[in-house]
Amino acid sequence: MHQNMAKMSPKIGDIRRQFTLDKYQEFLRPALHNGVEKPDAVMYAVRGMLTKGVKIMGKTNADIEDWDVENEEFWEREGKRIASRNLWISIPSLLTGFAVWLMWGMITTQMKNLGFPFSIEQLFTLSAIAGLSGATLRIPASFMIKIAGGRNTVFLTTALLMIPAAGTGIALMDPGTPFIVFQALALLSGIGGGNFACSMSNISTFYPKSKQGYGLGMNAGLGNFGVTTMQVLIPLLMTVGIFGALAGDPMQLQSPSGTLIGRIEAGTDTWIQNAGFIWLVFLIPLAFAGWFGMNNLKVVTPNPGSPMSAFGKILGLYGVGILTSIAGVWALSVLNMWLALPLTIVLTLILLRLIPGDIKPNIQNQFAIFSNKHTWSMTVLYILTFGSFIGFSAALPLSISVIFGNMMEVAADGTVTRVVNPEGPSALTWAWMGPFVGALIRPVGGWISDKVGGSIVTQIISVVMVIASVATGYVMMLAYNSTDPNTYFAPFLILFIIMFAASGIGNGSTFRSIGFIFNQQQKGPVLGWTSAVAAYGAFIAPRVMGQEIQAGTPEVAMYGFAVFYALCLVVNWWFYLRKGAYIKNP
Protein backbone atom coordinates (compact mmCIF):
# COMPACT_ATOMS: atom_id res chain seq x y z
CA MET A 1 0.00 0.00 0.00
CA HIS A 2 2.86 2.40 0.81
CA GLN A 3 4.43 1.61 -2.57
CA ASN A 4 1.14 2.40 -4.30
CA MET A 5 1.01 5.65 -2.42
CA ALA A 6 4.48 6.57 -3.59
CA LYS A 7 3.46 5.95 -7.19
CA MET A 8 0.45 8.22 -6.78
CA SER A 9 2.60 11.13 -5.64
CA PRO A 10 6.44 11.17 -5.56
CA LYS A 11 6.30 14.06 -3.09
CA ILE A 12 4.76 12.05 -0.26
CA GLY A 13 8.16 10.95 0.99
CA ASP A 14 9.31 14.55 1.24
CA ILE A 15 6.15 15.50 3.09
CA ARG A 16 6.62 12.66 5.55
CA ARG A 17 10.14 13.81 6.34
CA GLN A 18 8.87 17.32 7.17
CA PHE A 19 6.42 16.19 9.82
CA THR A 20 6.70 14.17 12.96
CA LEU A 21 5.60 10.54 13.10
CA ASP A 22 2.50 11.36 15.11
CA LYS A 23 1.36 13.84 12.43
CA TYR A 24 1.88 11.14 9.83
CA GLN A 25 -0.23 8.73 11.87
CA GLU A 26 -2.93 11.39 12.43
CA PHE A 27 -3.43 12.14 8.75
CA LEU A 28 -1.94 9.59 6.33
CA ARG A 29 -2.68 6.29 8.02
CA PRO A 30 -6.50 6.81 8.08
CA ALA A 31 -6.31 8.12 4.52
CA LEU A 32 -4.36 5.09 3.30
CA HIS A 33 -6.82 2.81 5.06
CA ASN A 34 -9.76 4.49 3.33
CA GLY A 35 -7.98 5.37 0.09
CA VAL A 36 -9.66 2.72 -2.05
CA GLU A 37 -13.16 3.62 -0.87
CA LYS A 38 -12.56 7.38 -0.73
CA PRO A 39 -10.19 8.53 -3.51
CA ASP A 40 -10.17 12.11 -2.24
CA ALA A 41 -9.06 11.02 1.22
CA VAL A 42 -5.35 11.04 0.40
CA MET A 43 -5.51 14.46 -1.20
CA TYR A 44 -7.27 15.93 1.84
CA ALA A 45 -4.91 14.14 4.21
CA VAL A 46 -1.92 15.77 2.57
CA ARG A 47 -3.69 19.10 2.50
CA GLY A 48 -4.57 18.69 6.16
CA MET A 49 -0.94 18.04 7.01
CA LEU A 50 0.10 21.16 5.18
CA THR A 51 -2.59 23.20 6.94
CA LYS A 52 -1.52 21.95 10.36
CA GLY A 53 2.05 22.68 9.35
CA VAL A 54 1.28 26.34 8.77
CA LYS A 55 1.78 26.98 12.46
CA ILE A 56 5.30 25.52 12.15
CA MET A 57 6.43 26.56 8.68
CA GLY A 58 4.10 29.37 7.65
CA LYS A 59 1.81 32.17 8.86
CA THR A 60 -1.76 32.18 10.12
CA ASN A 61 -2.62 35.02 7.73
CA ALA A 62 -1.15 33.34 4.62
CA ASP A 63 -3.15 33.34 1.39
CA ILE A 64 -5.07 30.07 0.94
CA GLU A 65 -4.78 28.36 -2.43
CA ASP A 66 -7.22 25.44 -2.05
CA TRP A 67 -10.69 25.97 -0.63
CA ASP A 68 -13.48 23.42 -1.15
CA VAL A 69 -15.94 23.84 1.70
CA GLU A 70 -18.68 21.89 -0.09
CA ASN A 71 -16.56 18.78 0.50
CA GLU A 72 -17.58 17.61 3.97
CA GLU A 73 -14.23 15.98 4.76
CA PHE A 74 -12.31 19.14 3.85
CA TRP A 75 -14.74 21.26 5.89
CA GLU A 76 -14.42 19.15 9.02
CA ARG A 77 -10.67 18.69 8.70
CA GLU A 78 -9.61 22.29 8.16
CA GLY A 79 -12.26 24.53 6.64
CA LYS A 80 -14.35 25.00 9.78
CA ARG A 81 -11.39 26.11 11.86
CA ILE A 82 -10.18 28.67 9.31
CA ALA A 83 -13.71 29.95 8.67
CA SER A 84 -14.34 30.39 12.41
CA ARG A 85 -11.14 32.36 12.90
CA ASN A 86 -11.98 34.73 10.06
CA LEU A 87 -15.57 35.04 11.26
CA TRP A 88 -14.65 35.98 14.84
CA ILE A 89 -12.27 38.69 13.67
CA SER A 90 -14.81 39.95 11.15
CA ILE A 91 -17.64 40.28 13.69
CA PRO A 92 -16.12 42.93 16.03
CA SER A 93 -14.72 44.83 13.04
CA LEU A 94 -18.19 44.98 11.51
CA LEU A 95 -19.73 45.85 14.88
CA THR A 96 -17.46 48.86 15.23
CA GLY A 97 -18.19 49.87 11.64
CA PHE A 98 -21.92 49.95 12.40
CA ALA A 99 -21.26 52.00 15.53
CA VAL A 100 -19.27 54.68 13.69
CA TRP A 101 -21.74 54.77 10.81
CA LEU A 102 -24.89 55.23 12.91
CA MET A 103 -23.48 57.23 15.82
CA TRP A 104 -25.00 60.41 14.40
CA GLY A 105 -28.48 59.45 15.61
CA MET A 106 -27.26 59.69 19.22
CA ILE A 107 -24.82 62.52 18.63
CA THR A 108 -27.43 64.81 17.06
CA THR A 109 -29.84 64.12 19.92
CA GLN A 110 -27.21 65.30 22.40
CA MET A 111 -26.21 68.23 20.17
CA LYS A 112 -29.83 69.38 20.48
CA ASN A 113 -29.69 69.00 24.29
CA LEU A 114 -26.44 71.01 24.42
CA GLY A 115 -27.80 73.85 22.29
CA PHE A 116 -25.60 73.48 19.20
CA PRO A 117 -26.76 76.22 16.79
CA PHE A 118 -28.47 73.93 14.25
CA SER A 119 -32.14 73.38 13.41
CA ILE A 120 -33.98 70.07 13.90
CA GLU A 121 -34.00 69.62 10.12
CA GLN A 122 -30.22 70.10 9.96
CA LEU A 123 -29.69 67.55 12.71
CA PHE A 124 -31.88 64.99 10.92
CA THR A 125 -29.85 65.78 7.80
CA LEU A 126 -26.58 64.70 9.44
CA SER A 127 -28.01 61.24 10.16
CA ALA A 128 -29.39 61.13 6.62
CA ILE A 129 -26.02 62.06 5.04
CA ALA A 130 -24.28 59.27 6.95
CA GLY A 131 -27.02 56.93 5.75
CA LEU A 132 -26.69 58.05 2.12
CA SER A 133 -22.90 57.71 2.18
CA GLY A 134 -22.92 54.31 3.87
CA ALA A 135 -25.41 52.95 1.37
CA THR A 136 -23.58 54.37 -1.66
CA LEU A 137 -20.20 53.08 -0.46
CA ARG A 138 -21.64 49.58 -0.24
CA ILE A 139 -21.93 49.48 -4.03
CA PRO A 140 -18.16 49.63 -4.70
CA ALA A 141 -17.47 47.69 -1.49
CA SER A 142 -19.45 44.73 -2.83
CA PHE A 143 -16.72 44.22 -5.48
CA MET A 144 -13.69 44.56 -3.19
CA ILE A 145 -13.25 40.94 -2.09
CA LYS A 146 -13.05 39.59 -5.64
CA ILE A 147 -10.53 42.27 -6.60
CA ALA A 148 -8.41 42.88 -3.49
CA GLY A 149 -8.86 39.89 -1.15
CA GLY A 150 -10.63 39.49 2.18
CA ARG A 151 -7.77 40.10 4.57
CA ASN A 152 -6.52 43.16 2.69
CA THR A 153 -10.01 44.64 2.51
CA VAL A 154 -11.05 44.09 6.13
CA PHE A 155 -7.77 45.50 7.44
CA LEU A 156 -7.83 48.72 5.41
CA THR A 157 -11.54 49.45 5.67
CA THR A 158 -11.35 49.02 9.45
CA ALA A 159 -8.30 51.32 9.67
CA LEU A 160 -10.05 54.00 7.57
CA LEU A 161 -12.75 54.37 10.24
CA MET A 162 -10.20 56.05 12.48
CA ILE A 163 -10.55 59.20 10.34
CA PRO A 164 -14.25 59.96 11.04
CA ALA A 165 -13.93 58.71 14.64
CA ALA A 166 -11.09 61.06 15.52
CA GLY A 167 -12.44 63.90 13.38
CA THR A 168 -15.88 63.77 15.00
CA GLY A 169 -14.37 63.88 18.46
CA ILE A 170 -12.33 66.96 17.57
CA ALA A 171 -15.27 68.74 15.89
CA LEU A 172 -17.59 68.14 18.86
CA MET A 173 -15.16 69.88 21.22
CA ASP A 174 -16.38 73.25 19.89
CA PRO A 175 -20.09 74.15 19.43
CA GLY A 176 -18.93 76.76 16.92
CA THR A 177 -17.65 74.15 14.47
CA PRO A 178 -19.21 74.97 11.06
CA PHE A 179 -22.07 72.75 9.92
CA ILE A 180 -20.20 71.79 6.75
CA VAL A 181 -17.51 70.11 8.88
CA PHE A 182 -20.13 67.93 10.52
CA GLN A 183 -21.56 67.15 7.07
CA ALA A 184 -18.12 66.02 5.86
CA LEU A 185 -17.57 63.84 8.93
CA ALA A 186 -21.04 62.29 8.60
CA LEU A 187 -20.18 61.53 4.97
CA LEU A 188 -16.91 59.80 5.99
CA SER A 189 -18.71 57.87 8.73
CA GLY A 190 -20.47 56.11 5.87
CA ILE A 191 -17.30 54.03 5.45
CA GLY A 192 -18.61 51.99 8.37
CA GLY A 193 -21.79 51.30 6.44
CA GLY A 194 -19.89 50.42 3.29
CA ASN A 195 -17.81 47.90 5.22
CA PHE A 196 -20.87 45.72 5.71
CA ALA A 197 -20.98 44.79 2.01
CA CYS A 198 -17.36 43.64 1.80
CA SER A 199 -17.55 41.92 5.19
CA MET A 200 -20.59 39.85 4.20
CA SER A 201 -19.16 39.09 0.77
CA ASN A 202 -16.00 37.86 2.45
CA ILE A 203 -17.62 35.64 5.09
CA SER A 204 -20.00 34.09 2.54
CA THR A 205 -16.99 32.57 0.75
CA PHE A 206 -15.77 30.78 3.89
CA TYR A 207 -18.93 28.72 4.53
CA PRO A 208 -20.68 25.92 2.59
CA LYS A 209 -24.27 26.38 1.42
CA SER A 210 -25.61 24.34 4.33
CA LYS A 211 -23.95 26.76 6.79
CA GLN A 212 -24.70 30.07 5.02
CA GLY A 213 -27.51 30.90 7.44
CA TYR A 214 -25.20 30.44 10.41
CA GLY A 215 -22.12 32.19 8.99
CA LEU A 216 -23.91 35.18 7.54
CA GLY A 217 -26.36 35.36 10.44
CA MET A 218 -23.59 35.47 13.02
CA ASN A 219 -21.53 38.03 11.11
CA ALA A 220 -24.43 40.33 10.35
CA GLY A 221 -26.40 39.68 13.53
CA LEU A 222 -23.57 40.26 15.96
CA GLY A 223 -22.20 42.97 13.68
CA ASN A 224 -25.57 44.72 13.93
CA PHE A 225 -24.96 44.88 17.68
CA GLY A 226 -22.77 47.84 16.79
CA VAL A 227 -25.98 49.88 16.74
CA THR A 228 -26.97 48.83 20.25
CA THR A 229 -23.41 49.03 21.55
CA MET A 230 -23.16 52.57 20.28
CA GLN A 231 -26.58 53.59 21.64
CA VAL A 232 -25.71 52.28 25.11
CA LEU A 233 -22.04 53.24 25.25
CA ILE A 234 -22.14 56.80 23.88
CA PRO A 235 -24.63 58.24 26.44
CA LEU A 236 -22.73 56.62 29.33
CA LEU A 237 -19.30 57.76 28.17
CA MET A 238 -20.49 61.33 27.63
CA THR A 239 -21.00 61.62 31.39
CA VAL A 240 -17.32 61.01 32.24
CA GLY A 241 -14.11 62.74 31.14
CA ILE A 242 -12.35 59.44 30.44
CA PHE A 243 -9.74 60.94 28.10
CA GLY A 244 -8.76 63.75 30.45
CA ALA A 245 -7.13 66.85 29.01
CA LEU A 246 -6.69 65.16 25.63
CA ALA A 247 -10.43 65.48 24.93
CA GLY A 248 -10.87 69.02 26.21
CA ASP A 249 -13.42 70.54 28.56
CA PRO A 250 -17.04 69.43 29.10
CA MET A 251 -20.15 71.39 28.12
CA GLN A 252 -23.30 71.86 30.18
CA LEU A 253 -26.64 70.40 29.14
CA GLN A 254 -29.28 73.01 28.31
CA SER A 255 -32.04 70.38 28.20
CA PRO A 256 -32.43 67.13 30.18
CA SER A 257 -30.80 64.05 28.73
CA GLY A 258 -30.33 60.47 29.87
CA THR A 259 -28.43 57.21 29.76
CA LEU A 260 -29.31 53.54 30.07
CA ILE A 261 -29.43 53.94 33.86
CA GLY A 262 -31.57 57.06 34.10
CA ARG A 263 -32.33 60.71 33.49
CA ILE A 264 -29.69 63.48 33.48
CA GLU A 265 -30.86 66.96 34.36
CA ALA A 266 -30.03 70.22 32.61
CA GLY A 267 -26.81 71.85 33.82
CA THR A 268 -24.89 68.58 34.05
CA ASP A 269 -21.37 68.45 32.57
CA THR A 270 -21.22 66.44 29.33
CA TRP A 271 -18.25 65.30 27.23
CA ILE A 272 -20.01 64.85 23.88
CA GLN A 273 -16.62 64.57 22.13
CA ASN A 274 -16.18 61.13 23.68
CA ALA A 275 -18.78 59.88 21.19
CA GLY A 276 -16.10 60.00 18.51
CA PHE A 277 -12.89 59.35 20.40
CA ILE A 278 -14.06 56.12 22.06
CA TRP A 279 -14.04 54.12 18.82
CA LEU A 280 -10.29 54.57 18.41
CA VAL A 281 -9.85 52.33 21.46
CA PHE A 282 -11.38 49.46 19.45
CA LEU A 283 -10.38 50.28 15.88
CA ILE A 284 -6.61 50.23 16.43
CA PRO A 285 -6.39 46.64 17.80
CA LEU A 286 -9.05 45.41 15.37
CA ALA A 287 -7.05 46.65 12.40
CA PHE A 288 -4.04 44.67 13.63
CA ALA A 289 -6.20 41.59 14.24
CA GLY A 290 -7.54 41.77 10.69
CA TRP A 291 -4.07 41.97 9.19
CA PHE A 292 -2.43 39.23 11.25
CA GLY A 293 -5.38 36.86 11.68
CA MET A 294 -7.43 36.78 8.47
CA ASN A 295 -6.84 35.21 5.05
CA ASN A 296 -7.23 35.95 1.34
CA LEU A 297 -8.84 33.04 -0.53
CA LYS A 298 -7.10 32.59 -3.88
CA VAL A 299 -10.09 30.67 -5.31
CA VAL A 300 -12.14 33.84 -4.79
CA THR A 301 -9.40 36.41 -5.43
CA PRO A 302 -6.95 34.84 -7.92
CA ASN A 303 -4.86 37.98 -8.31
CA PRO A 304 -5.07 40.42 -5.38
CA GLY A 305 -1.56 41.71 -6.14
CA SER A 306 0.78 43.02 -3.46
CA PRO A 307 -0.80 44.52 -0.33
CA MET A 308 -0.07 48.07 -1.57
CA SER A 309 -1.64 47.25 -4.92
CA ALA A 310 -4.70 45.83 -3.17
CA PHE A 311 -4.96 48.92 -0.95
CA GLY A 312 -4.83 51.12 -4.05
CA LYS A 313 -7.78 49.22 -5.54
CA ILE A 314 -9.79 49.53 -2.31
CA LEU A 315 -9.11 53.28 -2.03
CA GLY A 316 -10.00 53.75 -5.70
CA LEU A 317 -13.33 51.98 -5.24
CA TYR A 318 -14.17 53.93 -2.09
CA GLY A 319 -13.04 57.13 -3.80
CA VAL A 320 -15.72 56.59 -6.45
CA GLY A 321 -18.30 56.05 -3.71
CA ILE A 322 -17.29 59.23 -1.84
CA LEU A 323 -17.53 61.30 -5.03
CA THR A 324 -20.98 59.99 -5.92
CA SER A 325 -22.12 60.42 -2.30
CA ILE A 326 -21.17 64.09 -2.51
CA ALA A 327 -23.02 64.30 -5.82
CA GLY A 328 -26.02 62.67 -4.14
CA VAL A 329 -26.03 65.19 -1.30
CA TRP A 330 -25.95 68.01 -3.87
CA ALA A 331 -28.69 66.36 -5.97
CA LEU A 332 -30.92 66.22 -2.91
CA SER A 333 -30.74 70.00 -2.63
CA VAL A 334 -32.18 70.48 -6.12
CA LEU A 335 -34.19 67.30 -6.81
CA ASN A 336 -36.87 65.20 -5.19
CA MET A 337 -35.40 62.44 -3.00
CA TRP A 338 -36.96 59.70 -5.14
CA LEU A 339 -35.09 61.05 -8.18
CA ALA A 340 -31.81 61.89 -6.45
CA LEU A 341 -31.26 58.44 -4.95
CA PRO A 342 -31.61 56.42 -8.19
CA LEU A 343 -29.38 58.93 -9.95
CA THR A 344 -26.74 58.46 -7.23
CA ILE A 345 -26.85 54.67 -7.68
CA VAL A 346 -26.68 54.87 -11.49
CA LEU A 347 -23.81 57.37 -11.39
CA THR A 348 -21.88 55.09 -9.04
CA LEU A 349 -22.31 52.08 -11.33
CA ILE A 350 -21.28 54.09 -14.41
CA LEU A 351 -18.11 55.39 -12.77
CA LEU A 352 -17.21 51.91 -11.55
CA ARG A 353 -17.37 50.63 -15.11
CA LEU A 354 -15.06 53.43 -16.25
CA ILE A 355 -12.27 52.65 -13.75
CA PRO A 356 -9.10 51.88 -15.76
CA GLY A 357 -6.58 49.11 -15.23
CA ASP A 358 -7.08 45.52 -14.09
CA ILE A 359 -10.03 46.48 -11.88
CA LYS A 360 -12.21 47.12 -14.93
CA PRO A 361 -12.54 43.56 -16.31
CA ASN A 362 -13.19 42.16 -12.83
CA ILE A 363 -16.00 44.63 -12.20
CA GLN A 364 -17.50 44.07 -15.64
CA ASN A 365 -17.56 40.31 -15.01
CA GLN A 366 -19.41 40.84 -11.74
CA PHE A 367 -21.95 43.10 -13.42
CA ALA A 368 -23.45 39.83 -14.71
CA ILE A 369 -25.50 39.71 -11.50
CA PHE A 370 -27.75 42.43 -12.89
CA SER A 371 -29.03 40.13 -15.64
CA ASN A 372 -30.34 37.69 -13.03
CA LYS A 373 -33.95 38.39 -12.01
CA HIS A 374 -33.30 37.00 -8.52
CA THR A 375 -30.83 39.82 -7.89
CA TRP A 376 -33.72 42.26 -8.17
CA SER A 377 -36.27 40.23 -6.21
CA MET A 378 -33.84 39.72 -3.33
CA THR A 379 -32.92 43.42 -3.42
CA VAL A 380 -36.57 44.34 -2.82
CA LEU A 381 -36.87 41.81 0.00
CA TYR A 382 -33.70 42.97 1.70
CA ILE A 383 -34.98 46.54 1.66
CA LEU A 384 -37.96 45.15 3.59
CA THR A 385 -35.73 43.62 6.26
CA PHE A 386 -32.38 45.36 6.57
CA GLY A 387 -33.64 48.65 5.13
CA SER A 388 -36.22 48.79 7.91
CA PHE A 389 -33.75 47.76 10.63
CA ILE A 390 -31.10 50.28 9.71
CA GLY A 391 -33.56 53.06 8.85
CA PHE A 392 -35.45 52.84 12.13
CA SER A 393 -32.13 52.59 14.02
CA ALA A 394 -31.05 55.91 12.51
CA ALA A 395 -34.39 57.71 12.89
CA LEU A 396 -35.70 56.45 16.24
CA PRO A 397 -33.59 58.49 18.73
CA LEU A 398 -34.44 61.88 17.27
CA SER A 399 -38.05 60.79 16.62
CA ILE A 400 -38.49 60.00 20.32
CA SER A 401 -36.91 63.32 21.24
CA VAL A 402 -39.17 65.37 18.96
CA ILE A 403 -42.50 63.51 19.35
CA PHE A 404 -42.34 62.84 23.10
CA GLY A 405 -40.08 65.72 24.09
CA ASN A 406 -42.90 68.11 23.27
CA MET A 407 -46.66 68.12 23.84
CA MET A 408 -49.78 70.04 22.93
CA GLU A 409 -51.00 72.78 25.28
CA VAL A 410 -54.55 74.14 25.03
CA ALA A 411 -54.90 77.80 25.99
CA ALA A 412 -57.97 79.32 27.62
CA ASP A 413 -59.18 80.63 24.24
CA GLY A 414 -58.95 77.16 22.72
CA THR A 415 -55.76 77.71 20.70
CA VAL A 416 -53.31 74.80 20.64
CA THR A 417 -49.56 75.25 20.74
CA ARG A 418 -46.69 72.80 20.96
CA VAL A 419 -44.54 73.21 24.08
CA VAL A 420 -41.72 71.35 25.81
CA ASN A 421 -42.73 68.20 27.72
CA PRO A 422 -40.83 68.51 31.04
CA GLU A 423 -41.32 64.82 31.83
CA GLY A 424 -40.62 63.49 28.34
CA PRO A 425 -38.68 60.21 28.02
CA SER A 426 -35.04 60.49 26.97
CA ALA A 427 -34.14 58.92 23.62
CA LEU A 428 -30.69 58.13 25.02
CA THR A 429 -32.34 55.94 27.67
CA TRP A 430 -34.75 53.99 25.46
CA ALA A 431 -33.66 54.03 21.78
CA TRP A 432 -31.20 51.12 22.13
CA MET A 433 -33.86 48.50 22.87
CA GLY A 434 -35.23 47.99 19.36
CA PRO A 435 -31.86 47.60 17.59
CA PHE A 436 -30.72 45.31 20.43
CA VAL A 437 -33.63 42.93 19.88
CA GLY A 438 -33.23 43.07 16.09
CA ALA A 439 -29.53 42.26 16.21
CA LEU A 440 -29.94 39.58 18.90
CA ILE A 441 -32.57 37.69 16.93
CA ARG A 442 -30.93 37.88 13.49
CA PRO A 443 -28.83 34.69 13.90
CA VAL A 444 -32.03 32.94 15.03
CA GLY A 445 -33.63 33.97 11.75
CA GLY A 446 -30.76 32.39 9.84
CA TRP A 447 -30.89 29.22 11.93
CA ILE A 448 -34.67 28.79 11.50
CA SER A 449 -34.34 29.45 7.77
CA ASP A 450 -31.72 26.70 7.46
CA LYS A 451 -34.36 24.36 8.92
CA VAL A 452 -37.61 25.40 7.20
CA GLY A 453 -36.48 27.54 4.25
CA GLY A 454 -35.82 31.26 4.04
CA SER A 455 -38.78 32.44 1.97
CA ILE A 456 -41.48 31.10 4.27
CA VAL A 457 -39.83 32.93 7.17
CA THR A 458 -39.65 36.12 5.09
CA GLN A 459 -43.37 35.83 4.28
CA ILE A 460 -44.36 35.55 7.93
CA ILE A 461 -42.33 38.53 9.07
CA SER A 462 -43.69 40.59 6.17
CA VAL A 463 -47.21 40.15 7.52
CA VAL A 464 -46.02 41.22 10.97
CA MET A 465 -44.30 44.30 9.50
CA VAL A 466 -47.46 45.44 7.69
CA ILE A 467 -49.63 45.21 10.80
CA ALA A 468 -47.06 46.70 13.19
CA SER A 469 -46.26 49.61 10.88
CA VAL A 470 -49.90 50.66 10.61
CA ALA A 471 -50.36 50.37 14.38
CA THR A 472 -47.17 52.36 15.07
CA GLY A 473 -48.31 55.14 12.76
CA TYR A 474 -51.63 55.39 14.58
CA VAL A 475 -49.93 55.59 18.00
CA MET A 476 -47.48 58.23 16.72
CA MET A 477 -50.43 60.34 15.54
CA LEU A 478 -52.09 60.12 18.94
CA ALA A 479 -48.87 60.95 20.80
CA TYR A 480 -47.99 63.92 18.59
CA ASN A 481 -51.40 65.53 19.11
CA SER A 482 -51.74 64.71 22.81
CA THR A 483 -51.51 66.96 25.85
CA ASP A 484 -49.92 63.96 27.60
CA PRO A 485 -47.80 62.05 25.04
CA ASN A 486 -46.13 59.98 27.79
CA THR A 487 -49.32 57.89 27.89
CA TYR A 488 -48.50 56.53 24.43
CA PHE A 489 -44.78 55.93 24.88
CA ALA A 490 -45.05 52.31 26.09
CA PRO A 491 -47.16 51.08 23.13
CA PHE A 492 -44.98 53.14 20.76
CA LEU A 493 -41.80 51.48 22.04
CA ILE A 494 -43.31 47.97 22.11
CA LEU A 495 -44.52 48.27 18.51
CA PHE A 496 -41.11 49.46 17.34
CA ILE A 497 -39.45 46.55 19.16
CA ILE A 498 -41.83 44.17 17.34
CA MET A 499 -40.81 45.71 14.00
CA PHE A 500 -37.13 45.47 14.91
CA ALA A 501 -37.58 41.80 15.87
CA ALA A 502 -39.41 41.00 12.62
CA SER A 503 -36.82 42.81 10.51
CA GLY A 504 -33.99 41.07 12.40
CA ILE A 505 -35.43 37.62 11.70
CA GLY A 506 -35.98 38.69 8.09
CA ASN A 507 -32.37 39.79 7.79
CA GLY A 508 -31.32 36.24 8.56
CA SER A 509 -33.89 34.62 6.25
CA THR A 510 -33.14 36.78 3.20
CA PHE A 511 -29.39 36.32 3.47
CA ARG A 512 -29.91 32.57 3.78
CA SER A 513 -31.96 32.68 0.58
CA ILE A 514 -29.23 34.61 -1.26
CA GLY A 515 -26.58 32.12 -0.14
CA PHE A 516 -28.79 29.29 -1.44
CA ILE A 517 -29.86 30.85 -4.76
CA PHE A 518 -26.51 32.13 -6.10
CA ASN A 519 -23.25 30.32 -6.86
CA GLN A 520 -19.86 30.97 -5.24
CA GLN A 521 -18.85 33.64 -7.76
CA GLN A 522 -22.13 35.57 -7.67
CA LYS A 523 -23.34 35.41 -4.10
CA GLY A 524 -20.65 37.77 -2.79
CA PRO A 525 -21.47 40.61 -5.22
CA VAL A 526 -25.20 39.96 -4.80
CA LEU A 527 -24.90 40.16 -1.01
CA GLY A 528 -23.01 43.41 -1.41
CA TRP A 529 -25.44 44.89 -3.93
CA THR A 530 -28.60 44.01 -2.02
CA SER A 531 -27.15 45.32 1.24
CA ALA A 532 -26.10 48.53 -0.55
CA VAL A 533 -29.56 49.33 -1.87
CA ALA A 534 -31.23 48.32 1.40
CA ALA A 535 -28.85 50.55 3.35
CA TYR A 536 -30.48 53.59 1.75
CA GLY A 537 -33.07 52.95 4.44
CA ALA A 538 -30.62 54.69 6.78
CA PHE A 539 -31.14 57.79 4.65
CA ILE A 540 -34.80 57.40 3.67
CA ALA A 541 -36.24 56.71 7.13
CA PRO A 542 -34.69 59.75 8.92
CA ARG A 543 -35.55 61.96 5.95
CA VAL A 544 -39.16 60.80 5.54
CA MET A 545 -39.91 60.59 9.25
CA GLY A 546 -38.25 63.94 9.88
CA GLN A 547 -40.30 65.63 7.14
CA GLU A 548 -43.57 64.12 8.31
CA ILE A 549 -42.89 64.92 11.98
CA GLN A 550 -42.09 68.52 11.02
CA ALA A 551 -45.38 68.63 9.07
CA GLY A 552 -47.27 67.31 12.10
CA THR A 553 -48.26 64.04 10.40
CA PRO A 554 -45.79 61.36 11.62
CA GLU A 555 -48.31 58.59 10.87
CA VAL A 556 -48.05 59.20 7.11
CA ALA A 557 -44.47 57.90 7.05
CA MET A 558 -45.44 54.65 8.78
CA TYR A 559 -48.48 54.10 6.57
CA GLY A 560 -46.25 54.54 3.54
CA PHE A 561 -43.84 51.92 4.87
CA ALA A 562 -46.78 49.53 5.41
CA VAL A 563 -47.78 49.82 1.73
CA PHE A 564 -44.23 48.89 0.69
CA TYR A 565 -44.20 45.91 3.07
CA ALA A 566 -47.44 44.66 1.49
CA LEU A 567 -45.78 44.87 -1.93
CA CYS A 568 -42.89 42.74 -0.61
CA LEU A 569 -45.39 40.07 0.43
CA VAL A 570 -46.48 39.76 -3.18
CA VAL A 571 -42.91 39.71 -4.56
CA ASN A 572 -41.79 36.99 -2.14
CA TRP A 573 -44.86 34.83 -2.84
CA TRP A 574 -44.53 35.18 -6.64
CA PHE A 575 -40.84 34.33 -6.86
CA TYR A 576 -40.44 31.73 -4.14
CA LEU A 577 -43.67 30.40 -2.60
CA ARG A 578 -46.41 30.05 -5.23
CA LYS A 579 -47.01 26.83 -7.10
CA GLY A 580 -44.50 26.80 -9.96
CA ALA A 581 -42.20 29.34 -8.24
CA TYR A 582 -38.83 29.96 -9.90
CA ILE A 583 -37.04 28.47 -6.87
CA LYS A 584 -39.14 26.89 -4.13
CA ASN A 585 -38.62 28.31 -0.64
CA PRO A 586 -34.84 28.92 -0.84
Q: For residue 528, what are the contacts with CB-CB under 8 A and spacing of at least 6?
A: 138, 139, 141, 142, 143, 197, 198, 200, 201
Whether the CB-CB separation of 255 and 112 falls below 8 Å is answered with: yes
318 to 19, 154, 289, 295, 519: CA distances (angstroms): 45, 13, 22, 21, 26
Return phi, psi of residue 416, to 5°: -115, 130
Count of other CB atoms within 10 angstroms of residue 476: 27
Dist CA 429 CA 257 (whole Å): 8
Count of other CB atoms within 10 angstroms of residue 330: 12
Residue 100 has pLDDT above 70, yes or no: yes
Dist CA 348 CA 460 (whole Å): 34
Dist CA 130 CA 447 (whole Å): 31
499 to 176, 238, 281, 477, 573: CA distances (angstroms): 38, 29, 33, 18, 20
Give me the mean pLDDT over the 517-526 stretch.
79
Whether the CB-CB separation of 174 and 114 falls below 8 Å is answered with: no
Whether the CB-CB separation of 100 and 94 falls below 8 Å is answered with: no
Return phi, psi of residue 76, to 5°: -70, -35
pLDDT, tens digit, 9 for 90 and up, residues 35-93: 444 445 444 544 544 444 334 334 777 888 888 888 889 999 888 999 999 999 999 99
pLDDT, tens digit, 9 for 90 and up, residues 238-270: 999 999 888 889 999 988 888 887 888 889 999
The pLDDT of residue 358: 65
Residue type, 372: N
- Length, in residues, of the chain: 586
Q: For residue 87, what are the contacts with CB-CB under 8 A and spacing of at least 6?
A: 203, 206, 215, 218, 219
Give me the mean pLDDT over the 342-360 stretch.
85
Q: Which of 341-350, 360-369, 526-535 has the highest mean pLDDT?
A: 341-350
Lowest pLDDT segment from 51-60, 86-95, 308-317, 555-564? 51-60
- Who has greater pLDDT, 436 or 520? 436
Whether the CB-CB separation of 418 and 552 falls below 8 Å is answered with: no
Phi-psi region of 10 (alpha: psi -120 to 50; beta: other; left: phi over 0): alpha
Phi-psi region of 24 (alpha: psi -120 to 50; beta: other; left: phi over 0): alpha
Dist CA 152 CA 307 (whole Å): 7
Residue type, 456: I
pLDDT, tens digit, 9 for 90 and up, residues 287-299: 999 999 999 999 8
Dist CA 450 CA 119 (whole Å): 47
How does the average pLDDT of the chain come out, rounded? 85
Residue 199 has pLDDT above 70, yes or no: yes
Dist CA 109 CA 272 (whole Å): 11
Lowest pLDDT segment from 31-40, 297-306, 391-400? 31-40
Dist CA 68 CA 558 (whole Å): 46
